[in-house]
Structure 1
């Protein structure tokens, strides 16, 4: 993509867009929530649908001229139903957080109770953090992973639910490397007469491909992002039963947002179609295999992984044992210098702060999109180790940077 037309109008923005394209081509994206969409998805998202207001839903719009918008949204909905086996799907949320908002608005009143996982244990801001609207609107209690194993403490979750008596229990996480026992959490929710919201923002693609357990048909509501492991247009999605459809749709529009971003929904439709192809199954399986290989090699280098490994697309590294004087930010900044882009992350039992935590979160979705296999991911683990072990050694960082350049040339992003 040349951005020549943008350059004619706004050279400064064109320069920034070109620089970002080059940054993505020349670095290894390992932030677990990031991926690279296809050129078809990008083209759909830049379509004329960006000009169209389509408030309402297919067949029931508040404006004229929505026949083609209806077609696109209906395609996105039907493909999502096929991908995840859902009875009812709303593809209008602008993000995963707004998808969660749609569920809360549908079934909760201000002051109602949310039970969710603590942020430093792998939860998400939209699950009840005090800086988020959820923590400011609802009463929140949180559960944790087991300090010894790094796995969800399901017994502790149940005990907390019995004591707290929540109106909704939230499962699904942003930094949890293991499969989730959605049926067990649903059992607990039923026992305390609570709704169950499963937020699969990170694992939408893995769930669609059957390489991660699915909460669809188990939890009352399933939300997710549509741009992470599913590689579709950027935004959110809500899946539920027909029983709750009449509550969910008005909670999204007009309850939580106005007109849908139809160009993004076009990107969702195209990405969902790609995910229905056999190649996507191979991609999802490879993403998990790559994460396992990456994690195993990091452990060989002495890194401590939360829960001792991974079942999905990410590994969470606790640096306190192997590198007690190195913070997650130290590692993040040194690795970015050499072209490996990941994020500092809190870990269970965090002893520092969320702004300068003790861990790093490392993901494989974007590397897998570029064509990386297990051997290539093992080499990336070697490079991560070299930098973290010598994060102030400029000679080491220079050598690693040269190897990253070779890898990005070998595994090209867009031809």
Structure 2
């Protein structure tokens, strides 16, 4: 087996050296699936890989993490969840944006800023607890440096602008805490603007305060993230923001008609015109409109079987039955579905406007077969190679596009 793997790696090395950029895509197409996966793993480990959205901080909060006692030790392989250090290294993930997720209920109950502060401290605690494995990152240059040292970078993005509250000074406060993008809304309309999941249409897009927030983010060098916003809010942002913006974890509405959380073709085109990037979400509901119905049917069958057989899910017999039934009636989309979304954006606006925003640890048990956790990015890369994407294309999708946007946002801030 070792000799076989050695032969494959030698084959891949020859391809890298001998193929010109104009013919490499054809060479990738000529490889077997096994050879292509070996190449994909090589690309994943030799290329910086940025993921626009990983919900580890909130998972850690729920899991009981504290800086005094690491109940959830992400430096080691963990039970459940989608992210930890060993699996990140296996998959080639170098810079997952840590989502400082603020549930919408904090907009009503108060405490959004306090929760954000605690999640930021918790995330920074990962880097101080395991400094040989993790490091904070506040710029593309930080990520590059950490990559060269073999460390996983932890850039910070805040999911929901609610912690800004009604104080524009809090934008700079969170910038100083290390936040480098802000998802303007989440599940409900807030003081900044309207949410894609809300039907209240409180402001009809951005509020007057939201306009100030976007301008202040531009001034400071904080990336504006339009995932979760309503269509009206998106179009307002496109008019107001003087720097390119991102969708940190959204997919393509073409494949999920009526799902406003995803972006329609016109929105993607306007995002591209402004130099932005859509970072594709891996969640089943985001990439396959049939997933919900298929999943419901499987769950209904399992619930009925448990009742009919007087079994609990934890019973060995039930575990074996459920595993077999799900395998035979797999409701989950394939890696190819994620690639379909990437293809669609490519055809609309080109490869320079595509990134990866998995939503790992944030979409529950909905992830595609072959993309269940951070160890599996090479499966997606292999699928892209199979479809004719070049190594340069994949590098752009993995990090160069988001680096470009981030650097342009920084440059604009420095020019003001």
Give the alignment's TM-score, normalised by structure 2.
0.31
TM-score by length of structure 1 reads: 0.31
